[in-house]
Amino acid sequence: MSPLLGRVARGSSMTVLLLVGALLLPGSAEVAEHAGPPAARAGQVVASQKYGWQPSLFDFAWEYGESLTDRPGRGTKRKGKWIDVSTGSGRAARHNGGMMLESSYGVVTKRDVSPDFKDGDRGTTSVTLKGNAQAYGRWEVRFTTWTQTADGDPYDVRFELVPEGTKPDCRATSIKVAQVTATEDRVDFGAYSPSGDKAWTGSKGGVPIGARANEHAFAVEVAKDHITWFIDGQPVGTTKDKAAIPGVPLTIRLSLAGNGTNEMRHTYALFDWMRGFPLDHGKHPVSKTSLSTGTQHFSC
Amino acid sequence: MKRSRFRAASLLAWLPVACLLGLAFVATPGASEAQTAGSLSISPTHFYGGQAVTFSGSIGRSGKHKIWLEFNMNRAGDGWTKIEGSTRYTDAQGHFKFQFPARGMLNISIRVASQGTATPDIKFQAIDQAVSVAVQPGGNLYGGGPCSAGFRPFKAYDTVSTEGFQVKVDATPDGEPPLKGRKVVLQKRTATNGWTKVAAGSLDKNGEASFPVTLSTTDETVYRAVLGSVTGGVNKIGWFPSFPTYVDPHQRPGTPAVALVTDHDPGAPNPTDLDVSGTPGGPLTDKVVVAWSPGAAPTDPLNAQDYAVADPGATVHVTDLVPAQSYGFAVFARSAAGICSTLAATDAEQTDPTPPVSNVHTTDVQPTSVSLAWDLPNIDPNLIDEMKVRRADGGSPPTSPAGGVQFDSPPFSGDTSFTDFTVAPSTTYSYSVFVKINGVWSVAASLASVTTGAQP
């Protein structure tokens, strides 16, 4: 091909690519609308934008008056609803542009509560997405958590992938995309397999947690040959151990995990949005940080 | 030429790229940099996220124009962004009136934009939905009194199994706008932490609903209320749940069989003290609640003048009563969970009158002074609130603490002597001494006649 023909071909190809891209990718208005503050302003980077994972399969943005069972507002597969479970005093419900897990109605401090009454902040509250699972793909959720009391044990706020249909309290097969508590500036992540009770675990310190403004976008990419965890668009861990990859349709579970009937700190976990993406386009960045391996038994 | 055509063709092939890139840099899709013009008002001004809001006003110029809603999150660096699906058209005068679901955020701004202009913006404050659940059982359970168990509003309530109670749902616990007629379902948590429907109703004009419930179990039961979706017109208000609310059903203890009220010390005046005894405990009795009031026995400790909590069988020494007053006493049984018996064993007794002093006599009589002394009654002197000495001319002593002559410096409570320096020589007087306990004066203890000495 002559250089001129090559230029024509490249120009035409680029035009086609741009047009196709414009059709496939959401407009900037759409992204800005449901992504909250642009990443640079909020001090956050969103992996799905940074690595070109859009368009999303589903995007729950909580912009109007959505209930837990309303389908996602955007996405190429606008299906799914959130099944809420509370084993104690907590509730899952829409709140100010997001979905909030709150540990109880009002604030009860531990010193106010007789152990006999068991009426403070206790139990686990979770929502699990039903009807939009995929075995391989990317998932990204932005959330923050904070507390309002200084006594009592802190809740774990957990973003997991679990096989669809898993019981609410079962983590035997799961990918822990991010687990934080409001009292520590650290993010834990990992994966669990019931085969040999294997566990792959990692953590990232120095991540501000525990204030309303400390929102972070946590993401995971699950492929047939690796799992990579992201915090604010940064890969923080990768495992290529295929035993860690469930290989079954996975879905999001978000939890405010307590400790039985123990009185806990009054805690809020506000999820700005929840999104899922397929694997078939965009970049697949990996981290040089591998996860620690060990064992963890979950009785379920 | 051939070469030039190819050069032109290659440029033409890149032209769309240049146009697209240029557009990307000069235009922000969906948003507008617009001059402010026209007007905008919304109705209602208090609304939930997803509720239909009417936008009306003018774009500020005549002619039919394409318009759309834009929002601004009002954070540093935020701009105006078009709201998907909000495109409408003005009428020929540039006016508009249309409905659109309210965005469910706080502190965002909304405006109506058209090409090159936008209305003044309105600060949007969508109200988050709310709903609380309270449980109102029968008597002798709540109110902060001795039979209030350990309930905490909106979290855990005690009830009595087999006795009905009301589950009260309030969709406006913090003053949210009520949506009369909105469906509400009362649900009960299942053993597997799911929810099952118990009853259904609708909110009244105050945003409230009430459900009568009876439990035949003593197992802890958890309820929640779910407000139904509101979807008529452009409304998109989703269903909304309350927090779980615990109900702990208990068994109510039986009524105590006996209550016996007696003088605290049969050998002495008992103007303020009585004893309550004979309060046995049944199988469910952990404590007894002794409640009393002047007159009839109280039917509820919360309505009593006062109460005391004691172990079953213990004698309750009730103090600080009013002398010469008939009291009704009620003894309720209270379970370990804090549930009181509905009925009580009752008895009545009257306190003794305020005892007077005795042995009023003179210790010294002068032409211009009379010194008196007396014995205090057989009671704790600390019970005496006040004492008075009153004098009368002649031999008829005052019969009430308001009679006769009063003194600027009366005796202190518990005093046993007093000197009157205001007498005249060779004059006959009489005196009375009075004691007050808990607001009740004693009868007079008198010295019938004393005559001062002659002026030397």
The per-residue pLDDT for A246 is 97
Partners of residue B224 in chain A, C-beta under 8 Å: 91
Confidence of residue A7 (pLDDT cuts 50, 70, 90): very low
In Å, what is the CA distance from B446 to each residue of B372, B391, B428, B429, B431?
Answer: 11, 10, 14, 11, 6
Partners of residue B33 in chain A, C-beta under 8 Å: none
Contacts 24+ apart (CB under 8 A), B299-306: B299/B330, B299/B344, B300/B139, B300/B140, B301/B140, B301/B145, B301/B146, B301/B147, B301/B330, B301/B332, B301/B340, B302/B140, B302/B143, B302/B145, B302/B147, B304/B330
Structural tokens at position B232: 């008529």
Angle at A252 between CA A48 and CA A87, to 5 degrees: 145
The per-residue pLDDT for B23 is 38
Pairwise CA distance, residues A62 & A260, whole Å: 30
Angle at A40 between CA A39 and CA A45, to 5 degrees: 45
State the complex-level ipTM: 0.84
> Do A37 and B152 count as a contact with CB atoms less than 8 A apart?
no
Decide if B89 contacts B6 (C-beta within 8 A): no
> In chain A, whose CA is at the least distance from the CA of B74?
A37
Please check whether residue A290 touches B, CB under 8 A. Answer: no
Q: Give the percent of chain A with pLDDT over 90.
A: 73
Please check whether residue A7 touches B, CB under 8 A. Answer: yes
SS3 B6: helix
> In chain B, whose CA is at the least distance from the CA of A114?
B150
Of the candidates A265, A35, A255, which has an alpha carbon nearest to the alpha carbon of residue A149?
A: A265
The per-residue pLDDT for B34 is 80
The per-residue pLDDT for A233 is 96
Pairwise CA distance, residues B10 & A28, whole Å: 29
Q: Which of A13, A117, A169 to mutate to test the interface with B (most CBs of B within 10 A)?
A: A117
For A113-128, the pLDDT digits (tens) are 455 444 578 899 999 9
> Do A28 and B17 count as a contact with CB atoms less than 8 A apart?
no
Q: What letter does residue B453 receive in the DSSP assignment?
A: P
Shortest alpha-carbon distance between residue A202 and chain B (Å): 31
Of the candidates A177, A178, A193, which has an alpha carbon nearest to the alpha carbon of residue A248?
A: A193
The per-residue pLDDT for A24 is 33
> Do A96 and B106 count as a contact with CB atoms less than 8 A apart?
yes
Decide if B154 contacts B190 (C-beta within 8 A): no
Shortest alpha-carbon distance between residue B247 and chain A (Å): 10
Name the stretches of chain B with pLDDT < 50: 1-30, 32
SS3 A192: strand
Partners of residue A69 in chain B, C-beta under 8 Å: 238-239
Of the candidates A155, A154, A149, A156, which has an alpha carbon nearest to the alpha carbon of residue A111?
A: A149
For A248-290, the pLDDT digits (tens) are 999 999 999 999 888 888 899 999 999 999 999 999 999 999 9
Q: Which of B16, B77, B132 sits opposite A15 (nearest CB)?
A: B16
Shortest alpha-carbon distance between residue B258 and chain A (Å): 31
What residues of chain A, 153 to 172, have a C-beta less than 8 Å from chain B? Answer: 168
Q: Is the dihedral of CA B170, B176, B177, B179 positive or negative?
A: negative
Pairwise CA distance, residues A168 & A90, whole Å: 14
Partners of residue A86 in chain B, C-beta under 8 Å: 189, 193, 244
For A152-211, the pLDDT digits (tens) are 789 999 999 999 999 988 999 999 999 999 999 999 999 999 999 999 999 999 999 999
Residue B154: partners with Cβ closer than 8 Å, 6 or more residues away: A105, A106, B132, B133, B134, B243, B245
The per-residue pLDDT for A153 is 87
For B250-305, the pLDDT digits (tens) are 888 998 888 899 999 988 999 999 999 877 777 899 999 999 999 999 998 888 99
Of the candidates A52, A177, A43, A35, which has an alpha carbon nearest to the alpha carbon of residue A98?
A: A35
Please check whether residue A102 touches B, CB under 8 A. Answer: yes
Decide if B353 contacts B323 (C-beta within 8 A): yes
Dihedral of the alpha carbons of A128, A44, B106, B245, in degrees to the nearest 10: 30
Residue B146: partners with Cβ closer than 8 Å, 6 or more residues away: B289, B301, B307, B309, B334, B340
Per-position DSSP letters for B296-308, written without gaps between them: SPPSSGGGSSEEE
Decide if A52 contacts B54 (C-beta within 8 A): no
Shortest alpha-carbon distance between residue B83 and chain A (Å): 8
Please check whether residue B241 touches A, CB under 8 A. Answer: yes
Shortest alpha-carbon distance between residue A61 and chain B (Å): 11
Q: Which of A12, A64, A110, A121 to mutate to test the interface with B (most CBs of B within 10 A)?
A: A64
Shortest alpha-carbon distance between residue B1 and chain A (Å): 13
> Do B10 and A14 count as a contact with CB atoms less than 8 A apart?
no
The per-residue pLDDT for A299 is 86
The per-residue pLDDT for B155 is 77
- Which residue has 């609708």 as its token pair? B202
Partners of residue B245 in chain A, C-beta under 8 Å: 105
Mean pLDDT of chain A: 85
On the question of a cis peptide bond just before residue A55, with omega within 30 degrees of 0, the verdict is yes
Confidence of residue A38 (pLDDT cuts 50, 70, 90): very low
Please check whether residue B132 touches A, CB under 8 A. Answer: yes
Angle at B70 between CA B48 and CA A44, to 5 degrees: 85
Please check whether residue B193 touches A, CB under 8 A. Answer: yes
